[in-house]
Amino acid sequence: MGLYYDEPLELVGASGARVTDSRGRTYLDFFGGILVTMVGHDLPAVREAVTEQLARGVVHTSTLYLLRSQVELAEKIARLSRIPDAKVFFTTSGTEANEAALLLAMSHRRSNQVLALRNSYHGRSFATVGVTGNRSWSASSFSPLQTTYLQGGYRFRSSFRGLDDDAYVAACVADLRELLDVAVTGDVACLIAEPVQGVGGFAVPPPRLLAAYKEVLDETGTLFVSDEVQTAWGRTGRSFFGIEASGVVPDVLTFAKGLGAGFPIGGVVARADVMDGLQAKGISTFGGNPVATAAANAVLDHVLDHDLQGNADRLGRLLLSGLRSASADLAMVGEVRGVGLMVGVELVGPDGYAPDPAAAAAVLEATKARGLLVGGGGLHGNVLRVAPPLTLTEAEAQEGLALLVDALREVDAARP
Ligand code: PLP
């Protein structure tokens, strides 16, 4: 069953920025399997690294023994994270990475109180649904955590809508302080936040908001967990990890998705005192397994050697400005926002504000019919998400932009 389309899409092949379905139709991939495809599909360097590892007989999995590719990868990520004295623990998914981060923070602070942002998404497990501030994905009422949700993720649909950046940051910080004073008892373990909300519809907070939050949290030693499952590896264009643009060095950082180019890998980076504070032993059978780490090393080297962050910045600006100017006369578009190759188009009803998920569903069909894949998302399912591979060329960016604008125009014109 497919989530987006009337008729499920079965993919059978892929190369670069294009995928092919079981009927032989080719699509320009502007969603990259939910931001998993950073370096383009079927990159030879990744295939070679994986094949070489398989030829060695795979070797043992688990974090029990030392594996060269695992150690190399951990060292690179620790250095890139800028977290002083950092340690890395590998998992097989973003959900598990956030589970591990929450466990570390709660253990370090001896508290089950957690702060999260409204409209957030952090995973599908027992603990991570408990910090997911989006009712279509979460089940907070069953959570073992005590979570308090803050403003600050998604301005367009909040009571702070319309405030300029300075006023918005001030209002959010006042909201945090008030919550800490009245709604939270005792120590708080951490704030978990996505630097740019992904599933929530590519909502971008003013960078200094996260810095302002960090200052308040530092007053009590509350940890800042940056969920970089979508925003890592240069995707936001402006920095390598999304949080860097705020000038914040987080205490804990989680990653997954694009690192493995489809091979399952995630992980958590944390200050050594936080990582070592966990009394229980840490082991993961498949976390950081030899095949996934071989792929991940090849991906990371490719991202760094080819300045894909710079490419994301340049082409992200092109897509953002192209979509903004084309949307000026489309009543259906309420906001075009984003950073780097995370561009969101929020669709609204005739009143100019009510979410219009039916329009988003129609645009998804219209883009598919034109040979373009984009994503859906947002709290109400009314946001189109554009997140192509970071290896996108300018010609591909222009091609996808033209197809998307054409689809938007068709659906807008058909509305009563
Ligand atoms: N955190 C964020 C920000 C995500 O976007 C996702 C997945 O979309 C997750 C965590 C969960 O990752 P996974 O699906 O690998 O478990």
Q: Using one digit for the tens of pLDDT, what is the confidence trace for 203-228?
A: 999 989 999 999 999 999 999 999 99
User: What distance in angstroms lies between residue 97's CA and the mean position of ligand 1's atoms?
Assistant: 9
Q: Whole-angstrom Cα distance, residue 389 to residue 43?
A: 11
Residue 279 belongs to some domain of the structure: yes
The mean per-residue pLDDT over the stretch 318-336 comes to 97
Percentage of the chain modeled with pLDDT above 90: 86
In a domain, 360, yes or no: yes
pLDDT of residue 41 exceeding 60: yes
Mutate to test the pocket of ligand 1, among 36, 38, 95 (most ligand atoms within 8 A of CB): 95
Q: Which segments of 266-366 are extended strands (E)?
A: 266-271, 333-339, 342-347
Shared-domain flag, residues 195 and 291: yes
Residue 3 belongs to some domain of the structure: no
Q: Which residues line ligand 1 (CB under 6 A)?
A: 34, 93-95, 98, 121-123, 194, 198-199, 227, 229-230, 256, 266
Are residues 404 and 340 part of one domain? yes
Expressed as residue numbers, the domain containing 140 is 47-306
- Residue 247 CA to residue 43 CA, distance in Å, equals 33
Integer Cα distance of 381 and 177 in angstroms:
31
Q: For residues 370 and 324, give the distance between their C-alpha atoms in angstroms, rounded to a whole number.
A: 21
**Is residue 377 in a domain?**
yes
The pLDDT of 144-152, averaged and rounded, is 91
Per-residue DSSP letter, 125: S
Q: Are residues 262 and 321 in the same domain?
A: no
Note whether residue 108 is domain-resident: yes
Tokens 């370096």 correspond to 39
Q: Are residues 228 and 350 in the same domain?
A: no
- Tell whether 83 and 133 lie within a shared domain: yes
**Number of domains forming the structure of the chain:** 2
Predicted pLDDT at 1: 46
Co-location of 250 and 325 in the same domain: no
| 300 shares its domain with 323 | no
* pLDDT for residue 380 is more than 90: yes
Domain boundary among 306, 332, 352: 306
Question: Does the pLDDT of residue 284 top 90, yes or no?
Answer: no
Q: What is the CATH number of the domain that holds 410?
A: 3.90.1150.10
Q: Is the pLDDT of residue 9 over 80?
A: yes
Check pLDDT > 80 for residue 282.
no
Residue 5: inside a domain, yes or no? Answer: no
User: Is the model's pLDDT at 290 over the cut of 90?
Assistant: yes
Calculate how far, in angstroms, residue 115's C-alpha sits from the geometric centre of ligand 1.
Answer: 18
Atom of ligand 1 nearest to the CA of 96: 16
Instruction: Tell which of 287, 306, 325 closes a domain.
Output: 306
**Residue appearing with tokens 């623990």:** 89
pLDDT tens string 164-209: 999 999 999 999 999 998 878 789 999 999 999 999 999 999 989 9
CATH of the domain at 70: 3.40.640.10
**228 and 359 co-located in one domain:** no
Computed over every residue of the chain, the mean pLDDT equals 94
Average pLDDT over residues 402-415: 97
State the pLDDT at residue 365. Answer: 98
Distance from residue 127's CA to the centre of ligand 1 (Å): 13
**Residue 135, burial from CB neighbour count under 10 angstroms (0-12, 13-18, 19+):** exposed
128 lies in the same domain as 88: yes
| Higher pLDDT, residue 339 or 137 | 339
- The whole-number pLDDT of residue 141 equals 60
Show the DSSP H helices in 328-377 as ranges. 357-369
Q: What is the pLDDT of residue 136?
A: 78
Higher pLDDT, 45 or 132: 45
pLDDT exceeds 90 at position 40: yes
219 and 142 within one domain: yes
Phi-psi map region of 65: left, alpha, beta (phi>0 left; psi -120 to 50 alpha): beta
Residues 110 and 189 in one domain: yes
Residues 6 or more apart in contact with residue 80 via CB below 8 angstroms: 240, 241
| Statement: residue 384 has pLDDT above 70 | yes
Percent of the chain having pLDDT more than 70?
98
**Nearest-5° angle of CA 227, CA 228, CA 230?**
120
CA distance 263 to 245: 28
Choosing from 306, 321, 340, the residue where a domain stops is: 306
285 within some domain: yes
Report if residue 362 sits inside a domain.
yes
Query: Tokens 């919550």 identify what position?
Result: 179
- Beta bridge partner(s), residue 27: 19
Lowest pLDDT segment from 1-5, 316-320, 379-383: 1-5
Indicate whether 285 and 347 sit together in one domain: no
What is the distance in A from the centroid of ligand 1 to the CA of 124? 8
Interatomic CA distance for residues 361 and 279, integer angstroms: 48
Long-range contacts of 20-26, Cβ-Cβ distance < 8 Å, separation of 24 or more = 25/371, 26/371
Quickly tell me which residue has 């590998």 as its tokens. Answer: 90
